[in-house]
Amino acid sequence: MPEVTMSSKNQIVVPREAREALRIKPGMKLEVLVQGETLVLLRVPRNPVKALAGSMRGTYPSDYLSRERGSW
C-alpha cells in the first residue's frame, strides 16, 4: 500500500495507483471525507446531475406514481 507524507505546506501527492483507479487528471476536483481516523478521497463528477441520473431506479414500485396521483 503506497504511503504519502504531508509537506510543510500541508500538501500531499496522490499516488499513481490511486490516480489511475479514480481516473484523476490535473485540475479535477476531489471531495475529502473524514470518517474517524480515515481520510476518503472521492472524485467530484463534472456534471453531478448526469452522475445521479437513474440512481433511484427501482426504489419505488412501478404503480407508485399512479397511486399517489389518485390520492389527490
- What is the domain partition of the chain in residue ranges? 16-70
Please report the sign of the dihedral spanned by the C-alpha atoms of residue 54, residue 60, residue 62, residue 63.
negative
Calpha distance 10→4 (Å, rounded): 12
Answer for the pair 31, 44: CB distance below 8 angstroms, yes or no.
yes
Which among 67, 66, 27, 62 is positioned nearest to 43, based on CA atoms? 27
Task: Look at phi and psi of residue 61 and say left if phi exceeds 0, alpha if psi is from -120 to 50, else beta.
Answer: beta
pLDDT digits (tens, 9 = 90+) for 12-70: 999 999 899 888 899 988 999 999 999 998 888 888 788 788 888 888 888 888 889 98
**How confident is the model at residue 46, as a pLDDT?**
80
**How confident is the model at residue 38, as a pLDDT?**
93
**How confident is the model at residue 36, as a pLDDT?**
95
**How confident is the model at residue 22, as a pLDDT?**
85
Calpha distance 44→48 (Å, rounded): 8
Indicate yes or no: pTM above 0.85: no
